[in-house]
Every structure is written in structure tokens, then in C-alpha cells.
């Protein structure tokens, strides 16, 4: 692609600032003297030469992948692969509202990230009225743990790992007792959420979190596959087949009328 004549700026005014010989299509272009309202740089452009999408039925199961760092209040440098709060939350709202969607599968391979963003996503998944199943592949560390347990049923791949360790404070830390109190409070939010939405008792989770001798440069524990199930953090060990089977089962169960007294 010879781009030496093309403007470097990807701007809405492109067709009228480019030399004529570079116009790709031969259709006469009528210059629009009225300046267009500026939106996103591509808002007055459309694609060219594309096939129309293949017709396919709508999936009744939607899937959200949580990968890399969970990004909340701060934008991370571009070499980080991130799952953004503002992408996930509207999707969860849409899934809750769309009557064609009957279940949600959450696939996790995350190294943790922003505590508030992670807890926000987890709270959204917990309060979803539709059946949810989570599957941890690779890793569901730190703040990935509350997201994993927030689903109605959680699965972990046999080789996947979960690291449980204390929360750390970044930036300015003032050496006063209040700093500890604050940190403890932040940690309690995570501990409370995890223990309320999984089978693990609070004492056991705290014990794993503050265990020494397991991690070389930190305190905490790494749980691999079945170990996470054994301590009661994750419901079962499995892969995509088991996860989808469970999700379909939960969907059928939820669609059945309740077996309570006769509704008159």
C-alpha cells in the first residue's frame, strides 16, 4: 500500500483533503461544503467491499471473556491486555434485558486488577436474573476469584490456577494505624463477597490468603484445579462441555414453573 500521499491524520475530512488520484473508487464525489458535525473519526465513513454477514440464529447463551488485567479507574499502558469495566457492564445490562438471551457463560483467564471494577462486575453477575456459569481457564487470580464465584455455578479447568493473596496499596502510603484499618476494610469486601458466594468458610479463606511459605515473593496460596474445588471455592472441575451442560440444565430448571402450591 503506497501511503506516502495519504494524510497521516485519520480525520472525518479525509475525502476532501486527499489528492484526486488517490481516490479508490471512481464514483464522482460531491464535495460537501457544509462541515459535518464532528463525531468519532470514522462516524461519516462506511466500509467498502465487504460480504454481508452469514445468516445465523441468535445464540441464547452469551459469553463474556475476562482476560488480562481488569481495568477500572485507570487506563493501563497499551502492552497490558485488559478487560474494561465500561465494556463489560453495558453488556451485562443488555444480557439482563434481552429476552432472547437465556444464560451467560463467563470465561476467566485473568491476573486480577482493579478491586472496585472486579467487585462491580462480580456484583452485576450475582444480581443477574438469568443463569450464569463461570469457567476458569489458565488463571483466575486475585480479583478474578470474586468474579469466578459470582456465577450460579463455577468450573475450573484441571490445570487452571487461582492465587489468593492480600490486597496491596499502591502510591502514597501514610504510616498511620488508619492505613491498616483502611486496607483491612478493603480486604474485608473481597473476603465477604467470596465467602458469601462460595462454600469456603471465612476462616479458611483468610488462612489461605495469609499463608506463608507457599509463594516465594508474597504471602498467600496458589490453588491448582481440584484444590480450588476441595477448599470449596469453586463448585466443580471441568471444561467447556461440563460448563455448557450445566448452563443448559440451569436454563431448563429456571424455565420450569415452580412446584409450589397451585397458582390460581
Which of these is catalytic: 62, 134, 141, 142?
142
Residue identified by cell 500521499 is: 5
**Closest to another protein by CB, 5 or 174:** 5
Active site residue 165: yes
Q: Is 10 in the site for another protein (CB under 8 A)?
A: yes
**Closest to another protein by CB, 44 or 187:** 44
Side-chain-side CA neighbours of residue 124 (13 Å):
22
**Closest to another protein by CB, 3 or 212:** 3
Compute the least distance from the CB of residue 40 to another protein, in Å. Answer: 7
Side-chain-side CA neighbours of residue 187 (13 Å):
17
DSSP state of 1: -
Other C-beta atoms closer than 10 Å to the C-beta of 156 total 29
Please give the Cα distance from 3 to 10 (Å, whole number): 13
Q: Which candidate, 166, 167, 144, places its Cα nearest to that of 234?
A: 144
Residues from 121 through 180 that contact another protein (CB under 8 A): none
Pick the stretch among 1-9, 113-121, 220-228, 250-258 that binds another protein (CB under 8 A). 1-9
Task: Say which residues have a Cβ less than 8 Å from residue 3's Cβ, sequence separation at least 6.
Answer: none
Inter-residue contact 167 to 192 (CB < 8 Å): no
Please give the Cα distance from 141 to 222 (Å, whole number): 9
Q: Using CB under 8 A, which of 40, 170, 178, 212 touches another protein?
A: 40
Cα of 18 vs its chain's centroid, Å? 41
Q: What are phi and psi of 199, to 5 degrees?
A: -90, -5
Please give the Cα distance from 187 to 176 (Å, whole number): 17
Pick the stretch among 4-12, 146-154, 182-190, 213-221 that binds another protein (CB under 8 A). 4-12
Pick the stretch among 61-69, 127-135, 185-193, 219-227 that binds another protein (CB under 8 A). 61-69
Q: Is 74 in the site for another protein (CB under 8 A)?
A: no
**Closest to another protein by CB, 1 or 174:** 1
* Radius of gyration from C-alpha coordinates of the chain: 24
Q: Is 258 in the site for another protein (CB under 8 A)?
A: no
Pick the stretch among 54-62, 121-129, 208-216, 250-258 that binds another protein (CB under 8 A). 54-62
Compute the least distance from the CB of residue 115 to another protein, in Å. Answer: 20
Q: Which residues are catalytic?
A: 142, 165
Q: Give the footprint of another protein on this chain (CB under 8 A).
A: 1, 3, 6-10, 14-15, 18, 24-25, 29, 40-42, 44-51, 53-54, 56-59, 61-64, 78-79, 87, 91, 94-95, 104, 111
Amino acid at each position: 500500500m503506497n501511503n506516502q500521499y495519504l494524510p497521516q491524520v485519520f480525520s472525518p475530512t479525509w475525502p476532501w483533503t486527499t489528492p484526486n488520484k488517490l481516490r479508490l473508487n471512481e464514483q464522482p464525489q460531491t464535495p460537501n461544503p457544509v462541515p459535518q458535525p464532528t463525531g468519532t473519526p470514522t462516524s461519516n465513513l462506511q466500509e467498502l467491499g465487504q460480504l454481508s454477514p452469514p445468516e445465523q440464529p441468535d445464540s441464547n447463551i452469551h459469553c463474556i471473556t475476562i482476560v488480562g488485567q481488569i481495568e477500572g479507574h485507570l487506563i493501563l499502558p497499551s502492552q497490558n491486555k485488559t478487560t474494561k469495566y465500561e465494556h463489560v457492564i453495558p453488556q451485562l445490562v443488555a444480557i439482563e434485558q434481552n429476552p432472547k438471551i437465556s444464560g451467560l457463560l463467563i470465561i476467566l483467564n485473568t491476573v486480577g486488577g482493579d478491586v472496585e471494577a472486579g467487585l462491580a462486575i462480580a456484583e452485576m453477575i450475582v444480581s443477574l436474573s438469568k443463569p450464569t456459569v463461570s469457567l476458569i481457564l489458565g488463571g483466575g487470580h486475585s480479583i478474578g476469584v470474586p468474579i469466578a464465584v459470582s456465577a450460579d455455578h463455577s468450573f475450573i479447568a484441571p490445570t487452571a490456577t487461582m492465587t489468593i493473596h492480600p490486597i496491596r496499596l499502591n502510591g502514597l502510603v501514610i504510616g498511620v494505624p488508619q492505613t491498616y484499618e483502611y486496607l483491612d476494610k478493603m480486604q474485608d469486601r473481597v473476603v465477604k463477597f467470596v465467602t458469601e458466594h462460595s462454600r469456603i468458610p471465612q476462616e479458611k479463606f483468610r488462612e489461605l490468603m495469609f499463608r506463608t511459605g507457599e509463594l516465594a515473593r508474597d504471602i498467600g496460596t496458589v490453588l491448582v484445579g481440584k484444590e480450588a474445588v476441595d477448599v470449596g471455592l469453586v463448585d466443580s472441575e471441568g471444561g467447556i462441555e461440563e460448563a455448557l451442560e450445566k448452563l443448559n440444565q440451569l436454563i431448563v430448571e429456571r424455565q420450569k414453573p415452580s412446584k409450589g402450591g397451585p397458582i390460581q
